Amino acid sequence: MAVISTPATLERALPVMDNAEVLRIRNDFPVLNQRVNGQPLVYLDSGATSQNPVSVIEAEQEFYEQRNAAVHRGAHHLAVEATEAFEDARQTIADFIGAGYEETIWTSNATEGLNLISYALSNAGLWAARGRGDQSLRELALVPGDEIVVTEMEHHANLIPWQELAFRTGATLRYIPIDDHGSLRMDAAATVIGPRTKVLAFTHASNVLGIINPVQELTALGRAAGALVVLDACQSAPHLPVNVKELDVDFAVLSGHKMLAPTGIGVLYGRQELLDILPPFLTGGSMITTVTMEQAEYLPAPQRFEAGTQRISQAVALAAAANYLTETGLDRIHTWESELGQRMVVGLESIPGVRVLGPAAGKERIGLAAFDVEGVHAHDVGQFLDSRGIAVRVGHHCAQPLHRRLGLTATTRASAYLYNTTDDVDCFLEAVAGVRAYFRA
């Protein structure tokens, strides 16, 4: 009888990743086997969108070829199989992040998940004001005088929804500042988070700085204040083990397209007791029990927050992506990417005229580095690298306040993943070293 390996077993059995293994892994990613501008593709933009292994592509294709049907709505064979695949995928993702099955909600992306929470809290206030819901719901409603706390390093997706929630409810938005190196000022956090804080939302890992924030320390401050804690796990869940129960957060979001899955699929985790009392964000079919011409009653989570036809094939593909990462070993992936990140920073810091954002060499970071080249605009840097077959991200990376705080308008960002080698990083560094001479900066 075959022995099924658990994630923990796989972690113990597999050796540390090296270039030889990564080159084998690259064979699973067809898009990487091409040339760009006459050069072998060096893909260092996974922080924006990762590539898809064959197993993920085939999982979505197989769904369409074998069991394409609407879920939860039919008694015929294909509908039953589609529903089973869809809900099996939910269980896979719940296991992947340490959540309960009923606590795992499909969204289009992390941005939708954050907006879902924001609007559900808005609706909590409306329901409470009009006599719907019980005391526990009324306690979630925000009113003037309440405070929402974010950080100065947030992606716009974890900032603007809270700005709008503050506008709709009369609450005040506050933020935890960063220091000149980009680290959160935890001394300030202890004073910004206080008895009026109703929501504390922050990123696990910065998409610009590469910093891994002290989640449990921040969560403890939020718990002491009685606040809801919301975690943006977009840059952490694809790269290192994340267990939402161990982190003790109330909500967390992630996007599939950053973790080897297709676009158009994301996940919202929420504590069961909160999801079951929060009003829905979108309404319509599939999330109701009884409907009259005057009113409707809603299902519990997760269906409560999944109105309409869902992202069925994408969910199946996301589950395949999660399995690929688990089988490879997230601890191993994190160790390898950390090595690549350190290699980037050491190399960039040695190039005259280059300023690296975030932790200095030797300090913990995920496998990305954003940098500024003196005298050369980030877009020009990106085009120069592209001419050499190197794909990076340029701009403000949806973090304008962070860039403004650091005295910049745009940066270039290189972000590695499990399919990048040290040769990729060295090729990138060699190209960056030639930027200022090329532009005569």
Whether residue 398 lies in the annotated active site: yes
Whole-number Å distance between alpha carbons of 243 and 13? 21
Backbone phi, psi, residue 330, to 5°: -65, -35
User: Which residue has tokens 């040290």?
Assistant: 422
Whole-number Å distance between alpha carbons of 356 and 207? 14
> Residues with Cβ < 8 Å from 131, sequence gap 6 or more?
none
Contacts 24+ apart (CB under 8 A), 60-68: 60/262, 60/313, 60/314, 60/316, 60/317, 60/320, 63/312, 63/313, 63/316, 63/317, 64/313, 68/313
**Given 36, 41, 398, 433, which residue is catalytic?**
398
∠ CA 116-121-122 to the nearest 5 degrees? 100
- Paired tokens of 44: 């260092």
- Paired tokens of 57: 């592509």
Kindly list the catalytic residues: 398
